[in-house]
Structure 1
Amino acid sequence: MAKLVECIPNFSEGRNLEVVEKIVDTLRGREGVKLLDYSSDADHNRSVVTVIGEPEKLQEAIIDMAEKVYKNIDMTKHEGGHPRMGALDVVPFVPISDVTMEECIEIANKVGKAIGDRFNIPVYLYEKAAKKKTRENLAKVRKGQYEGFFEKIKDPDWKPDYGPEEVNVKGGCVAVGARVPLVAFNVNLGTDNIEIADKIAKIVRHIGGGLRFVKAMGVKLEDRNIVQVSMNLVNYEKTAVYRAFEMIKMEAKRYGVPVIGSEVIGLVPMASLIQCAEYYLQIENFSMDQILEKRIME
């Protein structure tokens, strides 16, 4: 079995689709690398890419993509609903086949050092690649966002792992890490009141006393005049998608607000959605071997 690593880079452009295509083009037609998916969100002003490949070739592809990001995105002009610290905001590596987490940590270090050296960008290692316990949680690393990092970086506790010790004005900073697969899952509410979304997010997320493996925040979707609870489920096996969904529905009731839809961002493990089917359909005899496509691919 070939060594395969997944990377899910997020960059801070979701409105200028011409720029998005320029950046994503760096990942197309490369030997040993396959672009699986990408999506852009104008309200978040952010794009999420999913790419898979052989370790060394994937590293090269991500560094080439970073070069295009830094040429085309100016953080002094960026605004959007999603927290961000840089033009290339986060670059997580995920082991897929015949690759260990330790190897992904090594890849994160190599890519982080290259971005720091070549593009003069402060780099912070997070999740499994973090060299400090305080940097494992991406939310803590990114706290203050691009605007706040000009002061934050002066704190000795927030000296970058790679790159310069001052913020790159145009490119900002970047978080590079290694982690297990996560599910990016958003729940839309039938209201335009962002305070309600914020309050529900605070209750649902782990840091607010909610579900252990959920990170959440409220976001306004200006084009639809509604709000959403935007989440990352960092371990779907221990906190299932349907549990987060049901908890949001329960909390929304206290405000008389309906849940009007949900969305998945990027790619998700099949098992995370099958868990939902089992729960809502109350299937008693289910096995993964009953998935037609799985049997065909065997």
Structure 2
Amino acid sequence: AVDVVPFIPIRNATMEECVQLAKEFGETLANKCNVPVYLYGEAATSPERKDLDWIREGEYERLAEMIVKPERKPDFGPAAPHPTAGATITGARKVMAGFNVNIGTSDLSVAKKIAKALHAKKGGFSTVKAMAAYIPEKNITQIGMSISDFEKTPLYRVFEMIKIECERYNVPIVGAEFCGMAPLKAIIDVAAYYLKIDNLSEDRVLEMAVYKAMEKGGAFE
């Protein structure tokens, strides 16, 4: 079973190309495996289908009930769950940033209030999903975030909001981490903001200059 297959333009690819790949993959999977497939993100066929949570409403337990509704008909494949694979979602989107911030309190209710202030559907940032969790081995709490567009909502802006909320509840920030791989531009934006560096871009990063030169056959400009 495959839950979600996103196509993401990391480098030397466009969003339009990723949308086309998602459509081709979805159609092929549905035809070969008889699995219902939904398109989401930039490949979505209706505004509500851009949202992964909308497609997932009801989860696997209610899939058979939801999939027969006209507004929830799959983009490819049968309007019935596969007996073992359920359904698959594919689409195209920007690189996401997984970012977690540790809060120096064991009070989960405080962490939940901070997460609520960040979450898009709770009145926070439009591109942020946030949740709170207790970390028993450290006796602290953590704000776990998924930022779907770090260019629209930079990490430093999210971090500054967390600082404001932590001051409000008189709790400290004791650490932070990326969840998975971190996009280079997200890190550059943070460095430019806190170090107040003018016109900082990946072209000013040594390793990127070497990489680009190698792409061009070893010639530096």
Q: Given the two structures, how large is their TM-score scaled by the length of structure 1? A: 0.62
Q: How far has the Cα of 1:282 moved from its partner? A: 2.8
Larger fraction in strand:
1
Q: Which residue, out of 184, 189, 204, partners 1:290?
A: 204
Shift in CA distance, 186/117, structure 1 to aligned 2, threshold 3 Å: farther
Shift in CA distance, 199/155, structure 1 to aligned 2, threshold 3 Å: farther
Q: Which residue, out of 63, 76, 101, partners 1:149?
A: 63
Q: Which residue, out of 146, 171, 179, partners 1:232?
A: 146
Q: Deviations over 1:38-84 (max 9, x none)?
A: xxxxxxxxxxxxxxxxxxxxxxxxxxxxxxxx3xxxxxxxxxxxxxx
In 1: Cα distance, 2:37 partner to 2:16 partner: 19
In 1: Cα distance, 2:54 partner to 2:126 partner: 16
In 2: Cα distance, 1:141 partner to 1:121 partner: 15
1:207 aligns with 2:94: no
User: Paired residue for 1:114?
Assistant: 28
Q: How far has the Cα of 1:242 moved from its partner? A: 1.1
1:263 aligns with 2:174: no
Q: How far has the Cα of 1:264 moved from its partner? A: 1.5
**Bigger Cα displacement from structure 2, 98-107 vs 124-133:** 98-107
In 2: Cα distance, 1:154 partner to 1:219 partner: 35
Aligned length: 212
Q: How far has the Cα of 1:127 moved from its partner? A: 0.6
Q: Deviations over 1:184-236 (max 9, x none)?
A: 22223334444443332222123322223222233455665544322222222
Identical amino acids, percent of aligned pairs:
43
Aligned residues of 2:23 and 2:43 also touching (Cα < 8 A): yes
Q: Deviations over 1:10-40 (max 9, x none)?
A: xxxxxxxxxxxxxxxxxxxxxxxxxxxxxxx
Shift in CA distance, 172/195, structure 1 to aligned 2, threshold 3 Å: farther
Q: How far has the Cα of 1:133 moved from its partner? A: 0.9
**Bigger Cα displacement from structure 2, 198-207 vs 279-288:** 279-288
SS of residue in 2 equivalent to 1:198 = helix
User: Paired residue for 1:92?
Assistant: 6
Letter in 1 for 2:121: I
User: Paired residue for 2:187?
Assistant: 273
Q: How far has the Cα of 1:144 moved from its partner? A: 2.8
Shift in CA distance, 284/130, structure 1 to aligned 2, threshold 3 Å: closer
Shift in CA distance, 144/267, structure 1 to aligned 2, threshold 3 Å: same
Q: Which has the larger radius of gyration?
A: 2
Give unpaired runs (5+ residues) of structure 1.
Answer: 1-69, 71-87
**Greater RCO structure (CA 8 Å; 6+ sep):** 2
In 1: Cα distance, 2:46 partner to 2:201 partner: 40
Q: Which residue, out of 164, 181, 185, partners 1:250?
A: 164
Aligned residues of 2:44 and 2:50 also touching (Cα < 8 A): yes
Q: How far has the Cα of 1:284 moved from its partner? A: 4.5
User: Paired residue for 2:219?
Assistant: none
Q: How far has the Cα of 1:276 moved from its partner? A: 1.0
Q: How far has the Cα of 1:283 moved from its partner? A: 3.0
Q: Which residue, out of 37, 47, 60, partners 1:123?
A: 37
Shift in CA distance, 193/112, structure 1 to aligned 2, threshold 3 Å: farther
Root-mean-square deviation (CA, aligned residues, Å) is: 2.6
User: Paired residue for 2:54?
Assistant: 140
Aligned residues of 2:104 and 2:172 also touching (Cα < 8 A): yes
Q: Deviations over 1:275-294 (max 9, x none)?
A: 11122223347454432212
SS of residue in 1 equivalent to 2:79 = coil
In 2: Cα distance, 1:291 partner to 1:246 partner: 25
SS of residue in 1 equivalent to 2:192 = helix
**Bigger Cα displacement from structure 2, 253-262 vs 88-97:** 253-262
Q: How far has the Cα of 1:134 moved from its partner? A: 0.9
Q: How far has the Cα of 1:176 moved from its partner? A: 0.6
In 2: Cα distance, 1:258 partner to 1:170 partner: 46
User: Paired residue for 1:53?
Assistant: none
In 1: Cα distance, 2:84 partner to 2:168 partner: 43
1:166 aligns with 2:80: yes
Q: How far has the Cα of 1:273 moved from its partner? A: 0.3
